[in-house]
């Protein structure tokens, strides 16, 4: 097979997947992905300096630069890196996965330009000390008006791309580029797009008056109203990530091991639960705020939010179970875990997928649900346990899934081989280990009362004495080592991406069945099912197999997850009982 | 409808039609969030009694 040319209709056919890729969509995917990586570099550089400051034995930065870079880190990692990549995902899902042309690609460049302009404005104000207001920019802290305007322009551009996503899938349906329901991965991207609209509307609601306040046109901004609406942006933006991440899980499963969708109805229902309920997780940040009653807090963070937690647990089962069933249909049927042992662990797309699922679920998910409980939140709020939780979700979950997707985007979209292939195979493991140590270190430090967003853990200039357990130094060192490892792996990923995209070897001809340096296993060895897959499927679903059904390995893994979940949950209630004695 | 009628094969189940309706999901997602979180939250803040200094 050789690289095909672009046809008169603007499409080229991907030699690996057979998909139709439109010439106007490809550069939009590339541009958003490249800027995403650049902002990752800025955010990761800040991360290194920050973790070497919170590691009390090193304590690198002066206070002013610690707080400044904390804002830089938050904006670049939680907004720019993630949302640029999501824009790439939206373009990819709506065009490549539907074999469709993009709606109004020139408008896409206009929106990209708005986002870029906004990004540059925010970077300028933050790096020059004109916006030392942290990521949350809570009033009465006030930044330079350009900071708020930059965020507004970025959000308007992102909202524009989201609108184009809806237009593109509507166009694809009208032009009969697909029949019936849209593919599940696109459905997941659509879920992310809907949550993005909810998120960006909240962003507009709060940043436009705050911008006017910074100009002196509005006298005050109510801090409680600000916090409530801002978190509709700040937390919901991370739910866009989660929906996009789950969509990528399904995609990587299919690409790497031929994963199947166990049940379309169940997986789509879970995505709809995200659409309806996940944005309410924003209320977690307000659980100790005095302005809201328990009914509002518990309804948002428990009754309704648990519907979204249910959705995550559904995906947490269906993704690995789909991989198991796919592997069994390919012939890996021995025992409980032959399908897992014989998976392509050297494929960075596959290892990223598995590590993303495991760390997201076991660390990020379990800690998130636990600390989001109103009673337990009182011993967690504003401690390092909170960033310990979200580094496991956003970094080891979302960012790692995005990295795994990049290892496939490089050959499929950029048509280049993945550079530094030997390191690329190790990178997901190093990154995941680093973030795991970082997250665990933060979680344990927070359990000892170490505050988050705090420059000096020794409180040396404070008006009061704070005695920390000696164990804090140990867990902060673990956090520091983990952080350094994670940043090294992130820098390695950036080097791989930059070298591949700008100086990489063209993909050329992919010879199926032969391993190739720089080409993921799923492309050289497409995971096709055995010729008698239907018969095998029937056999796997036979009632005689008992209650564990066709995916017994996943059932065991899920049982381990539930034991871990219950243990952590009840341990926290016990901790609460120790700290807050009643009677 | 007679199962042999070709129209029976084309009939898409109601839930599938609802789940496939992007615009319905978009509106539902926005409404639920803005009513339960944002609207109710605003009402909670606006109806807070004013604090008095001791």
CATH number at residue A256: 1.20.210.10
- pTM of the entire structure? 0.94
Classify residue A502: in a domain, yes or no.
Answer: yes
CB contact under 8 A, A201 and B30: yes
Q: Which two tokens stand for residue A73?
A: 């880190």
Name the closest residue on chain A to residue B45, using Cα atoms.
A291
CB contact under 8 A, B48 and A291: yes
Classify residue A32: in a domain, yes or no.
Answer: yes
A548, pLDDT greater than 60: yes
Task: Please give the mean pLDDT across all residues of chain A.
Answer: 94
Contact residues of A toward B, CB < 8 A: 166, 169-170, 181-182, 190, 194-195, 197-198, 201-202, 205, 222, 224-225, 228-229, 232, 236, 265, 268-269, 272, 275-277, 279-280, 282-283, 286, 291-293, 296, 299-300, 304
The count of structural domains within chain A is: 1
Label residues A485-513 b or e (16+ Cβ within 10 Å = b). bbbbbbebbbbbbbebbeebeebeebeee
Task: Show the domain range for A470.
Answer: 19-459+466-508+515-523+549-577
Round to whole Å and give the CA distance between A168 and A495. 33
pLDDT digits (tens, 9 = 90+) for A458-516: 888 888 888 888 999 999 999 999 999 999 999 999 999 999 999 999 998 888 889 99
Classify residue A249: in a domain, yes or no.
Answer: yes
Q: What is the pLDDT of residue A465?
A: 83
Classify residue A228: in a domain, yes or no.
Answer: yes
Kindly report the nearest CA distance between residue B2 and chain A, in angstroms: 22
Q: What is the pLDDT of residue B5?
A: 61
Classify residue A125: in a domain, yes or no.
Answer: yes
Round to whole Å and give the CA distance between A445 and A452. 10
Classify residue A191: in a domain, yes or no.
Answer: yes
CB contact under 8 A, A272 and B19: yes
A50, pLDDT greater than 60: yes
pLDDT digits (tens, 9 = 90+) for A255-277: 999 999 999 999 999 999 999 99
Number of C-beta neighbours around residue A221 at 10 A:
18
Classify residue A10: in a domain, yes or no.
Answer: no
Classify residue A323: in a domain, yes or no.
Answer: yes
Q: Which two tokens stand for residue A304?
A: 């309704």
Backbone phi, psi, residue A149, to 5°: -65, -40
pLDDT digits (tens, 9 = 90+) for A11-49: 888 877 788 899 999 999 999 999 999 999 999 999 999
Round to whole Å and give the CA distance between A239 and A394. 9
ipTM rounded to 2 decimals:
0.92
């Amino acid at each position: 097979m050789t690289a095909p040319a672009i046809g008169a209709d603007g499409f080229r056919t991907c030699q690996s997947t057979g998909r139709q890729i439109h010439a106007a969509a490809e550069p939009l995917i590339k541009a958003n992905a490249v800027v995403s990586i650049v902002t990752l570099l800025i955010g990761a550089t800040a991360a290194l300096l920050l973790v070497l400051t919170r590691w009390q034995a090193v304590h690198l930065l002066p206070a002013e630069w610690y707080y400044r870079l904390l804002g830089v880190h938050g904006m670049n990692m939680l907004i720019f890196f993630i949302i640029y990549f999501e824009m790439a995902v939206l373009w990819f899902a709506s065009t490549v996965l539907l074999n469709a042309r993009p709606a109004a690609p020139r408008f896409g460049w206009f929106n990209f330009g708005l986002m870029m302009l906004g990004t540059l404005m925010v970077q300028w104000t933050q790096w020059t000390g004109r916006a030392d207001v942290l990521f949350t920019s809570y009033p009465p802290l006030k930044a330079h008006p350009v900071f708020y305007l930059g965020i507004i322009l970025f959000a308007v551009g992102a909202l524009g791309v989201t609108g184009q996503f809806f237009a593109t899938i509507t166009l694809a349906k009208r032009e009969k580029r697909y029949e019936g329901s849209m593919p599940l991965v696109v459905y997941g991207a659509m879920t992310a797009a809907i949550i993005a609209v909810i998120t960006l509307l909240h962003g507009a609601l709060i940043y436009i008056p705050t911008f006017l306040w910074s100009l002196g046109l509005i006298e005050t901004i109510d801090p409680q109203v600000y916090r409530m609406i801002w978190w509709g942006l700040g937390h919901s933006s991370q739910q866009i990530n989660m929906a996009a991440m789950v969509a990528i899980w399904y995609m990587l499963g299919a690409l790497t091991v031929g994963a199947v969708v166990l049940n379309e109805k169940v997986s789509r229902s879970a995505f709809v639960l995200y659409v309806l309920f996940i944005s309410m997780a924003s209320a977690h940040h307000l659980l100790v705020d005095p302005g809201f009653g328990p009914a509002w807090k518990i309804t948002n963070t428990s009754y309704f939010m648990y519907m979204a937690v249910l959705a995550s647990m559904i995906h947490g089962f269906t993704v690995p179970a789909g991989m198991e069933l796919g592997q069994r249909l390919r012939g890996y049927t021995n025992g409980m875990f032959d399908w897992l042992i014989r998976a392509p662990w050297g494929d960075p797309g596959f290892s990223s997928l598995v590590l993303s699922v495991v760390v997201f679920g076991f660390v990020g998910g379990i800690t998130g649900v636990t600390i989001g409980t109103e009673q337990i939140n009182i011993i967690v709020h504003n401690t390092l346990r909170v960033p310990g939780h979200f580094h496991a979700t956003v970094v080891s979950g979302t960012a790692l899934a995005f990295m795994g997707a990049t290892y496939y985007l490089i050959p499929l979209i950029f048509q280049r081989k993945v550079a530094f292939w030997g390191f690329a195979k190790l990178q997901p493991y190093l990154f995941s280990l680093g973030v795991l140590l970082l997250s665990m270190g933060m979680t344990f430090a927070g359990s000892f009362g170490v505050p988050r967003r705090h420059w000096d853990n020794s409180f040396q200039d404070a008006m009061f004495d704070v005695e920390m357990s000696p164990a804090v130094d140990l867990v902060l060192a673990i956090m520091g080592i983990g952080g350094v490892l994670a940043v090294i792996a992130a820098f390695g990923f950036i080097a791989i991406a930059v070298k591949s995209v700008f100086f990489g070897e063209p993909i050329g001809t992919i010879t199926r069945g032969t391993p190739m340096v720089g080409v993921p296993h799923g492309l050289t060895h497409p995971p096709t099912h055995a010729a008698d897959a239907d018969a095998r499927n029937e056999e796997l679903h036979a009632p005689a197999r008992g209650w564990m059904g066709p995916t017994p390995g996943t059932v065991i893994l899920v049982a381990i997850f539930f034991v871990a979940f219950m243990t952590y949950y009840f341990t926290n209630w016990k901790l609460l009982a120790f700290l807050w004695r009643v009677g | 409808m007679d199962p042999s009628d070709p129209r029976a094969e084309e009939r898409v189940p109601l839930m599938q039609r609802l789940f496939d309706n992007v615009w319905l999901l978009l509106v539902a997602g926005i409404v639920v969030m803005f009513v339960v979180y944002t609207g109710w939250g605003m009402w909670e803040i606006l109806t807070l009694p004013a604090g008095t200094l001791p």
